[in-house]
Structures are given as C-alpha cells and as structure tokens.
C-alpha cells in the first residue's frame, strides 16, 4: 500500500488535502495534526475515499487506486502544520506525513517577506528527462518556496502519444487516463515533488481532455464520431474530478457542492483570484466557453472586487490577449476564446474592473512560451492591466515538427538551447475591452522561451502591492537554467 498526500488551496483557516492510495481494498483512514488526533468535528469529507475510476467505468479488473479530498478546519492562517495520515486495510498499516502551510490571511508588508505564487502548465511526463521538475522543486523549497501553486492546464496529456489507436470504450479509456495521472501525481520524483510544494488549485485546458476539445481533432480518431467524443469526455471528466477538481461544500456564490465547469474564487487580501474553467463545459457549437453559472459567478466576483477595492487576478487555460482562429486553423489546431459567443461577456465584465481603476492581472499557460505584457490606459497614463503566461513546464513532442526542426538546425549548424520551442507571439496593438476604443494599448515586457515555471512574489505596499516576477528555466545546462528576474511592478487601485 502506497499513500500520496498533496495540499490543495483552501480558505485561510483550513488545510485541504488530496490523498491517493494504491491498494487492493479501500483502507480506513485516521488523521493527526502536529501529532494530535483529529476529531470528526474538524475534518470534513469533500470527496469520500473511492476508486479514482468511478464504478460505472470499472472493467473486470479490481480497483487499485483510491482518491479522496478532505479538509481540516480551525487552523491558523500562514502557519506550517504536520499532517499525518494512517491507512489500515487487511491487517496492513501504512503511514505518511506532509508538512504544509495554510494560506496567509493577507499579503505581507514589504519588510515581512512575500506571498509567492507558482505558475505551472503544460507538463508532458515522458519529456521530463532527468526529472527536471523534481530538481526545480528542491531548488524552490530552499530558495523561494511558493505559498500557492496555480496549475494552469495541460497537467496531463491524455491524447498522447500522437496517432495512437486509443480504445473506443469509456472503461478502457479511463484505465489509460488514470495511469497518466498516476505517473504525474503519485510518482516518487519529478512532477509530484512540484505538487507537494504548496497548496494547489487547477484550471483545465484541452489536453485534460483532447486537443481542441470538445471539437473533433484530425489527430484523435476517437473524436471523429459523436459516440467516440462522448466516451472520451466521460472518462476524462471522471479522472479530472478524481485528481484535479476543486471540491467545495459551500461554493462561493450558490451554495451546495461545486460542479464541473464552475469557477472558483480565492481571496488573499488585497488580492482576489478568479479561476475560470473555460474548457470542461465548452460548447461544441462555439456559443460559450463558460457555463451560465460561471458567468454569473464572474459578474458577482467583479462586483465584489470593485466594492472591496481589490487587485484582480483572472486565471484561464487560454490567453485573452489573442484574436480568433480562422475556421481552418481552428479545426486543425485549436479554437481560441475569442472564437466563442460569450467572449464579449467575459471582456465586458473585466472592463468594469479597468473602468473602476483597479489593477487586473491575466494569468494563463497553454501556448508553449512565456510572456509578460502590459496594457497602458491612455486616460491615466498607468500600466494597470498585465498578462503573465507560463508555459510549458515540459514540452510535449510534436510528430513531424520536431524532426524538421532538428534537421534544419543540423543543416544551419546553429546552436539552439531550445530547438523544439516556439518564440512568444505578438500582443494586440489595442485591447479588446468593448466601448473603450483605442484607450488601452498593449506592449510586451518580457518573452520566455523553453521549459520553465514562473514565480510571482507579492509584497504589500500601502493599499496595493509590489509584484516581482521570476522565470525559472528547466534545462540540463546550468548556464541555461539561471532564474530570470523581471523588473518590479507596482499595482494599486487608482
């Protein structure tokens, strides 16, 4: 029996814990906090310990991976706790420990340290040769340990290897997907070490399902028929819920348990994070990327951020600073958020924040390069809106493209530390906020090529914050893996 314990983002007086147990039968769990037995009053079950593959998708083989999500309340914000869980089954007892920290109630002052947020996206386990993700985790643990990790999509590549003949039925697909998640979440080294660093919260993107989900992909045979898409969606959604979904009993807006496609909100004064799932319930007819409920949540969040004069962070699986894909490119590669009918609703909601003079940070992954962009308001002269992209952590292989790049480099003899990686794309000249015409102009402040993660370090400064962004490349050459520290930004309500 093997236990994996990982921290999840939670309210500041709580610890939320994801547990995965490899065993032949579901064990009985007992919990300790700092060696003190935990009472049932302080422990809430958000997802009961159950097979990672739901019963309706189990094949004839026995369950071998059990997952659950639990929350411990009544704790102090910003404090390190030792969590011990003991699992007992069939006379076998296994124990594991995790030292993790509750989220702080607010961003610390300039003289008291920083609130560190790690950005991670696009991790292909097969390409993380040498376990670079785990080595980076050790470096961050000793130098700049994050307080919160944002998983920005494509934490698994369920649709790889490219052109594979995947099984048609949901049960066998679920077995394949569970193995993909297990390699990342429950391995001894590598990516799982990044997941242990700090409480994490996820938004999905297409590879949590398949490339360009929910639309047919020319490279995924299962997506060519309605039944194939349905079976794949059922299996992929079930495994996303088992490993990444934000389970909440008291959802921020409507009460009751959260549903796939809902948004999540996290407040660390004066920051307010909005996590938009723009993939799980994306409309095949391109009418919407967000559910009706998520759009209501967005409106409510915007109103609250304006009322409390907070700094807004809007997290998505795709960039908002983009133009719609052509019909041909959308069908072959990926439709982007502007291709969907509710994109205007999203941008108009965010426009209210800009109109109220509040700083806005757009955070995403997806594109396989990093970028920091700034948007200047011509009325005030301030850079008040920013976009920060961190992608990839481990670049997935591209059949054909990688071989052509390698051939070209061999012909030209040009050394390239990142031969398979693309350069960042341009930002639009003017922002798309409806009704503002040419008021907001965009510029690129930084571009990042290659495998990396980014760390955002916030310090309180009056009513606002100072933000320091650091990119950490993941490369076997020490000269290529030096952290890149960007200029500090000052963000405060106008």
* 186 and 139 inside one domain: yes
Q: Which of 69, 84, 103 is at the close of a domain?
A: 103
CATH number of the domain enclosing 75: 2.60.40.10
Give the Cβ contact number of residue 401 at 10 Å: 11
CA 52/CA 68 separation, integer angstroms = 8
Greatest C-alpha distance within the chain: 70
What is the structure's pLDDT at 60? 76
Residues 87 and 178 occupy one common structural domain: no
Q: Are residues 91 and 186 in the same domain?
A: no
Please give the backbone phi and psi of residue 382, each rounded to the nearest 5 degrees, phi first.
Answer: -95, 145
Domain that holds residue 81: 1-103
For residues 117 and 313, give the distance between their C-alpha atoms in angstroms, rounded to a whole number. Answer: 12
User: Cα dist. 391→182, 328, 425 in Å?
Assistant: 22, 25, 13
Both 155 and 98 in one domain: the answer is: no
Task: Check residue 159 and report its DSSP letter.
Answer: T
Q: How far apart are CA 208 and CA 153, in angstroms?
A: 7
Q: Alpha carbon 216 to chain centroid distance?
A: 24
Whether 147 and 12 share a structural domain: no
Instruction: Report pLDDT for 15.
Output: 96
Name, in order, each residue with C-beta under 8 angstroms of 209's C-beta and a sequence gap of 6 or more.
158, 159, 232, 233, 236, 237, 279, 280
- What is the arrangement of strands in the sheet containing 28-33, beginning at the earlier edge strand? 36-37, 28-33, 80-89, 92-101
- Do 27 and 131 fall within a single domain? no
Please name the residues in contact with 236: beta carbons below 8 A apart, sequence gap of 6 or more.
158, 173, 177, 208, 209, 210
Residues 300 and 354 in one domain: yes
Helix (H, G, I), strand (E, B) or coil at 95: strand
42 plus 153 within the same structural domain: no
Place of tokens 């807006």: 253
Same domain? For 45 and 174 the reply is no
Residue 297, SS3 per DSSP: helix
The CATH number assigned to the domain holding 177 equals 3.60.21.70
In this structure, the answer to whether residues 188 and 163 fall within a common structural domain is: yes
Positive or negative, the CA dihedral 172, 281, 361, 296 is: negative
Are 249 and 269 a contacting pair, CB within 8 Å?
A: no
Instruction: Output the tens digit of pLDDT for each of the chain's 494 residues.
Output: 999 999 999 999 999 999 999 998 899 999 999 999 987 668 899 999 999 999 999 887 777 999 999 999 999 999 999 999 999 988 889 999 999 999 999 999 999 999 999 999 999 999 998 899 999 998 887 778 999 999 999 999 999 998 888 999 999 999 999 999 999 999 887 899 999 999 999 999 999 999 999 999 998 999 999 999 999 999 999 999 999 998 875 445 445 568 999 999 999 999 999 999 999 999 999 999 999 999 999 999 999 999 999 999 999 999 999 989 999 999 988 999 999 999 999 999 999 998 999 999 999 999 999 999 999 988 888 888 999 999 999 999 876 566 566 666 667 666 788 988 988 988 988 877 666 778 889 999 999 999 999 999 999 999 999 999 999 999 988 889 999 999 999 999 98
* Last residue in a domain, options 64, 83, 103: 103
Question: Which bin fits 34, alpha (ψ -120 to 50), beta or left (φ > 0)?
Answer: left
pLDDT at residue 409, as a whole number: 67
pLDDT at 29: 94
Q: How far is CA 329 from the centre of its chain?
A: 25
Measured in residues, the chain has a length of 494
The count of structural domains within the chain is 2
Q: How far apart are CA 134 and CA 279, in angstroms?
A: 28
Residue 45: count other Cβ atoms within 10 Å of its Cβ.
Answer: 14
Q: Which residues pair with 19 in a beta bridge?
A: 5, 68
| Boundary of a domain, candidates 88, 103, 118 | 103
Judge if 450 and 426 occupy the same domain: yes
Residues 6+ apart with CB under 8 A from 91: none
Residue 170's CB: how many other CB atoms inside 10 A? 22
Residues 82 and 224 in one domain: no
Q: Give the integer Cα–Cα distance in Å for 193 and 215.
A: 33
């Amino acid at each position: 029996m093997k236990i994996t314990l990982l921290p999840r983002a939670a309210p500041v007086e709580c610890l939320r814990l994801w547990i995965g147990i490899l065993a032949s039968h579901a064990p009985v769990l007992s919990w300790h906090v700092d060696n003190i037995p935990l009472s049932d009053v302080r422990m809430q079950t958000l997802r009961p310990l159950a097979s990672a593959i739901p019963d309706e998708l189990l094949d004839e083989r026995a369950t071998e991976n059990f997952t659950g999500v639990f929350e411990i309340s009544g704790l102090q914000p910003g404090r390190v706790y030792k969590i011990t869980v003991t699992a007992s089954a069939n006379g076998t007892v296994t124990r594991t420990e995790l030292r993790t920290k509750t989220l702080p109630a607010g961003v610390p002052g300039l003289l008291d340290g920083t609130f560190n947020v790690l950005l991670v996206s696009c991790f292909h386990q097969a390409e993380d040769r040498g376990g670079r993700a785990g080595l980076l985790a050790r470096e961050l643990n000793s130098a700049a340990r994050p307080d919160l990790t944002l998983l920005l999509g494509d934490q698994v590549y369920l649709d790889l290897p490219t052109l594979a003949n995947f099984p048609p039925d949901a049960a066998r697909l679920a077995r394949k997907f569970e193995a993909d998640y297990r390699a990342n979440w429950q391995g001894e080294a590598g990516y799982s070490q990044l997941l242990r660093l700090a409480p994490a919260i996820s938004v999905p993107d297409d590879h949590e399902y398949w490339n360009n989900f929910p639309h047919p992909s020319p490279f995924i045979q299962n997506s060519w028929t309605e039944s194939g898409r349905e079976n794949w969606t059922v299996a992929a959604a079930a495994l996303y819920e088992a490993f990444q979904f934000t389970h909440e009993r008291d959802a921020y807006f409507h009460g009751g348990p959260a549903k796939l496609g809902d948004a999540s909100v996290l407040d660390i004064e004066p920051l307010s994070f909005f996590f938009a799932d723009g993939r799980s319930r994306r409309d095949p007819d391109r009418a919407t990327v967000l559910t009706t409920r998520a759009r209501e949540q967005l409106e409510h969040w915007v109103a609250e951020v304006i009322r409390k004069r907070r700094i807004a962070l809007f997290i998505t699986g795709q960039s908002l600073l983009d133009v719609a894909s052509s019909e041909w490119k959308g069908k072959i590669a990926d439709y982007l958020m502007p291709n969907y009918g509710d994109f205007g609703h999203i941008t108009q909601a965010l426009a209210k924040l800009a109109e109220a003079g509040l700083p806005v940070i757009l955070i995403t992954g997806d594109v396989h390069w990093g970028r920091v962009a700034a948007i200047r308001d011509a009325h005030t002269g301030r850079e008040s809106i920013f976009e920060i992209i961190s992608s990839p952590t481990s670049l997935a292989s591209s059949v054909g493209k990688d071989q052509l790049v390698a051939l070209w480099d061999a012909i030209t003899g040009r050394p390239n530390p990142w031969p398979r990686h693309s350069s960042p794309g341009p930002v639009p000249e003017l922002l798309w906020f409806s009704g503002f015409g040419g008021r907001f102009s965009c510029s690129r402040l930084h571009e990042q090529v290659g495998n990396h993660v980014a760390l955002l370090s916030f310090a309180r400064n009056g009513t606002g914050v100072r933000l320091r962004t650091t990119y950490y490349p993941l490369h076997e050459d020490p000269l290529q893996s030096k952290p890149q520290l960007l200029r500090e930004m000052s963000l405060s309500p106008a």
